[in-house]
Structures are given as structure tokens and as C-alpha cells.
């Protein structure tokens, strides 16, 4: 009994340390003066050295192949068709991304972008494999990574750097956390918000003990309120929109599951009701844009500023996205290489009215197409679509 508890505690500690390293190592540990900071700087030097970076990518490639084979062997029979299997589309995306890295190795090896993409995928697969092991506690294994991620992100809300003078909106500093970028901070807060709501719903349906049910729901709702406060203060419209889409998706899945488990057709939710709700929300959004685009309340003004022609934020992004489409049309197959997109954009594609090319990085999908090519972007989009659509997908679980 003691041995099992010790092993479980060590595994949980290793998982928490790994998640914390992925979240905070780049901005916090690297600047510390202790042993961890020194080790982090040494690892970064190895990753940026072109003579050793390829060995790290080669090791990640072997891990990726092993984890993918494990997932393919354990995937449900309904996903046996290659075209409908999201894991194979993910493999195609990684293969194309690495092929582009090899073709432009002299330039790509000076960037960490390929390592970040490959390392994140391999880490996710490792956690998925650990959580999906067929044991009596496999259910808790699936829950613990999500719980740790939620609590780590909720704790990071209170870890704000000094007043941010670089990112402001009408004189109000935008929260950016330990990462220094409000859009990234808002995206992570939106992710934690959706996960908190999903875990609260799960406990409401799955927990049998009333005390544990109330305590768990209360804990996740408090975490959700904390990250929602951080999301609110990030003033990131993209993060607000993505969080709203995540909550809508979570609601649709919940209503669909209730409909499947009920004996008859749901009286509240059907396709016609869903279309009516979509039309009402769309109409209210359009009215809100016209009515409140000049409102003085800062958050509402930030939301509805997309309808203001004098707002240069979205105009610069539209111009940058136009340049990104031109870049993808010029090099559609393997892109411009990892880490070289901004330099190429500044050199040939940046409109004269835009002062710098940082706006090109505001769309991760375009960045994938520019860096790795349009085929890699298509494989990634199909992978995401199949993962969300397949109810029994191991990737979605």
C-alpha cells in the first residue's frame, strides 16, 4: 500500500514538474540564478546550436513514431480507415514539417520553432499514453493532467510582472502574466476556463459522494472565476472569442450527450432550435457592434472596436494576413522555413503603412502555412477537425 502511494506521488510530482517546465521555463526559470536556471540556459544553448539541434529532433522523431504506433494500435475499430483517422493526419503534418526543416536546415536550425512544435506534440502524446494505461486507476490518470494544468494556470494569474508599458489599451495595462504577451496569457486563461467548466460538469454527472461533488464543483468554479478574471484583464479579443467558442462547443457536446442518454427526442435541443439560437446570437452581435462601438466602458469598447474603421489594430492584422496569403501562394509546398517568416515578410511583403512585421505572428494558422507549407497546414486542420468530430477518438479524450 505504501509502495503504491509512493509510486503514485512520484508520478504525479514528475507530471506537475513537466507541466510547470513547459509553462514557465522559458520566461521564469531561464532568468533565475539557481541550479534550475543554469540548467535551463544550458538546454537552450543546446537547442539553438545547429550542430546538436538535429540530434534532439531525431530523438523526438523516434519518440513520436513510438507513441503514434501505440495510439494506432489502441485506437477504436471505428477509426480503422486511414482517411478518417486523426492520428495519421497528425503524422502527415509532422512529416511535412520536418521535411521542410531538413530542406531549409541552414536557416531553420537557427530557430526554436521546430523544436517547440515537435516537443509539444511528443509531450502531449507521452501524457496521453500515461493517462490511457489500462489499470484500475486509469480514470484518475486522465483527470490529473487536466487538474494540474487548471491549477497551474489559475496560480499564474497572481504572478504578474511589473506594470506593462508595452501592451496597453487606451492607457490601461493589459495583463500578460509571466509570459510577457497578453495574447498568449489570454489564450491560456481561456483554455483553463473551458477546462474548469468541463471538469465541473464532469464531477456533477460522475461523482457519487455528495461532499466530494460539492467540494470539486466549488474548487473548479473558483479556478474558473480566477482565470476568467485574468482573461478579462488581458484585453485580448482573440482569446475572448476562442474562450466563447470553447464554451459553446462544450455546451453543444453536453446537450448532445443528454439527448443521446434520454429515452426520447429532446424537447429543448434539436437542429431547428440550434439554428434559431445561432440566428438570434448573430443578430444581437451585429446590433451590438453598431450600438456600442463607441461606448466608453473599456472592455466593451475593446470588443466592439472591430467595427470602428479608425481602429488600427485589426486593420494592421488584415493587412498582415493579406501578406501571409501572398507568401503562401508564392511558396505553397514547403513555405519559407521555420523562424524565417517575419524576416521574409518584412523584406518583401510588408505594406508601407505598417511599421513592423510583428502582426504576421498574430495568426498561428497562417504562420504554419508560411513556415511549413500549405499541405502541412491542411493536414493540421483536418487533424483538428477529425479529433473534435469523432466521439470515440482517443485524441479527443
pLDDT digits over 202-246, tens only? Answer: 888 776 777 878 888 889 999 999 999 998 888 888 888 889 888
Query: What letter does residue 135 receive in the DSSP assignment?
Result: S
Alpha-carbon gap, residue 238 to 303, rounded angstroms: 10
d(CA 85, CA 66): 17
* Lowest-confidence region among 33-37, 223-227, 334-338: 33-37
Give the residues across from 173 on adjacent strands: 168
Q: How far apart are CA 86 and CA 19, in angstroms?
A: 24
Percent of the chain with pLDDT over 70: 72
pTM over 0.75: no
- Cβ proximity of 278 and 248 under 8 Å: no
CA distance 206 to 200: 10
pLDDT classification of 141: cutoffs 50, 70, 90: low
pLDDT confidence tier of residue 33, bands split at 50, 70 and 90: low
Residue 260 has pLDDT above 80, yes or no: no
Considering the chain, what is the average pLDDT of its residues? 76
Question: How many C-beta neighbours within 10 Å does residue 268 have?
Answer: 8
Mean pLDDT of 266-293: 63
CA distances from 247 to 266, 306, 312, 355 (A): 21, 22, 29, 36
Most confident of 35-49, 122-136, 158-172, 191-205: 191-205
pLDDT for 202: 82
pLDDT average, residue stretch 106-129: 82
In this prediction, residues 51-78 reach a mean pLDDT of 81
Nearest Cα to 71, choosing from 19, 130, 18, 14?
A: 130
* Contacts for 197 with CB less than 8 Å, ≥ 6 apart: 220, 224, 247, 250
pLDDT for res 379: 92
pLDDT reported for residue 72: 79
Instruction: Answer whether residue 276 shows pLDDT above 80.
Output: no
Confidence of residue 52 (pLDDT cuts 50, 70, 90): confident
- What pLDDT is recorded for position 265? 47
Alpha helices in the chain (DSSP H): 2-24, 35-48, 50-74, 86-103, 105-108, 113-131, 138-156, 182-206, 210-234, 237-261, 271-292, 298-304, 312-330, 341-344, 364-372, 374-389
Answer yes or no: is pLDDT of 391 > 60. no
- Which tens digits make up the pLDDT trace of 337-360? 887 777 788 888 877 767 766 677
C-alpha cell at 122: 511528443
User: For residue 300, is pLDDT > 80?
Assistant: no
DSSP string, 247-269: HHHHHHHHHHHHHHHSSS--SS-
Q: Is 112 exposed, middle or buried (0-12, 13-18, 19+ CB in 10 A)?
A: middle
Displacement of CA 19 from its chain's centroid (Å): 14
According to the model, what pLDDT value does residue 312 have?
Answer: 58
Contact at 8 Å (CB) between 231 and 189? yes
- Quick one: pLDDT at residue 395? 40
For 17-27, what is each residue's pLDDT tens digit?
878 877 877 66
- Residue 297 pLDDT class (50, 70, 90 cuts): low
Of 107-121, 271-285, 358-372, which range is least confident?
271-285
258: left (phi over 0), alpha (psi -120 to 50) or beta: alpha
pLDDT of residue 156: 86
pLDDT tens digits, 93-115:
999 888 888 887 777 777 778 88
Amino acid at each position: 500500500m505504501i509502495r503504491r502511494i509512493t509510486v503514485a506521488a512520484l508520478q504525479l510530482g514528475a507530471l506537475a514538474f513537466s507541466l510547470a517546465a513547459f509553462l514557465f521555463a522559458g520566461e521564469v526559470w531561464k532568468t533565475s540564478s539557481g541550479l534550475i536556471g543554469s540548467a535551463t540556459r544550458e538546454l537552450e544553448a543546446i537547442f539553438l546550436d545547429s550542430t546538436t539541434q538535429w540530434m534532439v529532433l531525431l530523438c523526438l522523431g523516434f519518440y513520436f513514431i513510438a507513441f503514434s504506433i501505440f495510439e494506432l494500435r489502441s485506437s477504436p475499430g471505428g477509426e480503422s480507415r486511414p482517411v478518417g483517422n486523426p492520428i495519421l493526419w497528425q503524422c502527415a503534418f509532422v512529416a511535412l514539417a520536418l521535411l521542410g526543416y531538413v530542406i531549409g536546415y541552414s536557416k531553420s536550425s537557427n530557430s526554436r520553432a521546430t523544436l517547440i512544435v515537435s516537443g509539444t506534440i511528443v509531450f502531449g502524446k507521452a501524457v496521453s499514453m500515461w493517462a490511457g494505461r489500462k489499470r484500475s486507476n486509469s480514470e484518475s490518470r486522465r483527470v490529473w493532467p487536466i487538474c494540474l494544468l487548471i491549477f497551474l494556470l489559475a496560480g499564474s494569474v497572481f504572478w504578474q510582472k511589473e506594470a506593462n508599458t508595452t501592451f496597453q489599451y487606451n492607457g490601461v495595462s493589459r495583463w500578460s502574466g509571466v509570459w510577457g504577451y497578453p495574447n498568449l496569457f489570454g489564450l491560456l486563461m481561456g483554455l483553463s476556463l473551458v477546462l474548469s467548466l468541463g471538469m465541473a460538469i464532469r464531477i456533477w454527472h460522475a461523482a457519487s459522494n455528495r461532499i466530494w461533488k460539492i467540494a470539486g464543483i466549488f474548487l473548479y468554479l473558483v479556478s474558473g472565476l480566477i482565470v476568467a478574471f485574468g482573461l478579462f484583464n488581458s484585453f485580448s479579443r482573440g482569446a475572448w472569442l476562442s474562450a466563447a467558442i470553447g464554451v459553446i462547443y462544450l455546451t453543444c457536446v453536453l446537450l448532445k450527450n443528454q439527448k443521446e442518454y434520454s429515452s426520447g427526442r429532446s424537447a429543448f435541443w434539436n437542429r431547428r432550435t440550434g439554428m434559431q439560437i445561432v440566428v438570434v446570437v448573430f443578430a444581437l452581435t451585429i446590433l451590438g457592434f453598431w450600438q456600442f462601438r463607441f461606448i466608453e466602458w473599456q472592455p466593451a469598447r475593446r470588443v466592439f472596436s472591430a467595427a470602428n474603421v479608425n481602429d488600427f489594430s485589426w486593420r494592421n492584422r488584415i493587412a498582415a494576413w493579406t501578406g501571409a496569403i501572398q507568401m503562401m501562394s508564392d511558396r505553397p509546398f514547403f513555405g519559407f522555413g521555420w523562424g524565417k517568416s517575419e524576416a521574409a515578410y518584412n523584406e518583401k511583403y510588408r505594406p508601407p503603412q505598417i511599421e513592423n512585421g510583428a502582426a504576421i505572428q498574430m495568426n498561428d494558422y497562417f504562420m504554419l502555412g508560411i513556415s511549413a507549407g500549405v499541405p502541412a497546414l491542411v493536414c493540421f486542420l483536418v487533424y483538428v477537425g477529425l479529433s473534435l468530430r469523432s466521439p470515440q477518438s482517443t485524441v479527443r479524450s
